[in-house]
Amino acid sequence: MTQEYRITLLPGDGIGPEIMAVAVDVLKTVAALQGNLSFTFQEALVGGAAVDAVGQPLPEETLDKCRNSDAVLLAAIGGYKWDALPRELRPETGLLGLRAGLELFANLRPAQIVPQLINASSLKPEVISGVDLMVVRELTGGIYFGKPRGIFATETGEQRGFNTMAYSDSEIDRIGRVAFETARKRSRKLCSVDKANVLEVSQLWRDRITALSAEYPDVELTHLYVDNAAMQLVRAPKQFDTIVTGNLFGDILSDIAAMLTGSIGMLPSASMGASGPGLFEPVHGSAPDIAGQDKANPLAQVLSAAMMLRYGLNQPEAANRIEQAVQKVLEAGYRTIDIQSPGTTVLGCQAMGEELIRALGT
Ligand code: NAD
């Protein structure tokens, strides 16, 4: 039986349309090869492109289309052109609105060392060789959203700024479930990161995650304090498989984990809600400095499409096909300019897409 999926495409700004075109070709090819998959694509406006067309970065129509689809594939938003606009009209506001509108509380960011690009990392090859980990970050709670917050004047005439780090049982449980399920799709090892030695909110986090582990006896659970986790990530990253943590710690640790690989043009991400479609996008931005020049690396976008298949649509076989095709083109020595090294063949964005299609067919 053929599985049909409606995918909303948000090409956005800068290099977005170029890398999205490659991902769509790859998805169409995968569907043809699988034989049991079919995609209906619908495009919508977001970011600067939406500001230019309709005067706001997240039109209601876009949100409606996203809600009425099985998954959302986003490229990137933003650019110098819109930097001076008031905050409500900035492309980034559109992206935040999208995450909020789709109630995406879980952010998944893998960091996997591609053997062919091992020298792109600032760490020693023997430390990072074989790294394959996933950071699951809580995205809509914690200190970034906690209330009360603000800056007030004290009696002594000083100003005092403050924020609130708070998590409720249900918020911890729902991100915990995503993390345990994610670990199940990987090596069944989950490390929960907190600061339970100092923070009550972290003590609750640790208690709830520990209680939840009874439902997942097949997943091995460990705990680390965030300062130690940061150290371990650069000291011995191979010890990790899946990491789950709150918003603030996850913001920092996911960037550390990403940079283990050293190449921003290679990093995909997924954001998921309790129900409804997930949002899949590269970690990088719209790279306005190289937009329209056929220089962009489309691989993070293509790997985001693979994450969409694996985590959003539960089609691991199709996801594997894409990941293997990426591996093959790199093994064949093809590179975009951002990841080139001596002895490799530099291709433009479009030509890299053509090589991917060729690799998929072999
Ligand atoms: P950026 O990620 O766009 O670019 C940083 C550097 O990496 C640039 O030199 C760029 O050319 C390069 N780069 C990024 N992606 C690449 C790719 N796929 N192939 C080759 N080179 C690539 O970050 P920035 O310059 O800080 O931001 C540019 C714009 O993107 C800003 O408007 C920012 O707000 C926006 N942005 C958007 C997102 C998003 O859509 N999720 C994320 C980050 C930044």
pLDDT profile of the chain (362 residues), mean per 10: 95 98 98 96 98 97 98 97 93 91 95 88 93 95 93 96 97 97 95 98 98 98 98 97 97 91 89 93 95 97 97 95 96 94 95 98 87
Catalytic residue positions? 144, 195, 227, 251, 255
* pLDDT computed for residue 262 by the predictor: 78
Q: How far is the CA of 286 from the centre of ligand 1 (A)?
A: 4
Q: CA distances (Å), 340 to each of 74, 147, 347, in order?
A: 25, 46, 9
338 lines ligand 1 (CB under 6 A): yes
Q: What is the CATH number of domain 1-102+276-362?
A: 3.40.718.10
Q: Write the DSSP assignment of 174-204 as a string of letters.
A: HHHHHHHHHHHTTTSEEEEEE-TTT-HHHHH
Domain 1-102+276-362 matches domain 109-263 at the CATH topology level: yes
* pLDDT computed for residue 275 by the predictor: 87
> Nearest residue CA, atom 26 of ligand 1?
285
> Does this model's pTM top 0.85?
yes
23 lines ligand 1 (CB under 6 A): no
What letter does residue 344 receive in the DSSP assignment? Answer: P
Q: Are 102 and 72 in contact (CB under 8 A)?
A: yes
Q: Which atom of ligand 1 is nearest to the CA of 281?
A: 41
Highest CATH level, class, for 109-263: alpha beta
Helix axes 169-184, 200-212, angle to 10 degrees: 50
* pLDDT computed for residue 3 by the predictor: 95
Domain ranges (residues) in the chain: 1-102+276-362, 109-263
Q: Cα(94)–Cα(45) distance, rounded to whole angstroms? A: 10
Q: How far is the CA of 291 from the centre of ligand 1 (A)?
A: 10
Q: Which residues pair with 74 in a beta bridge?
A: 10
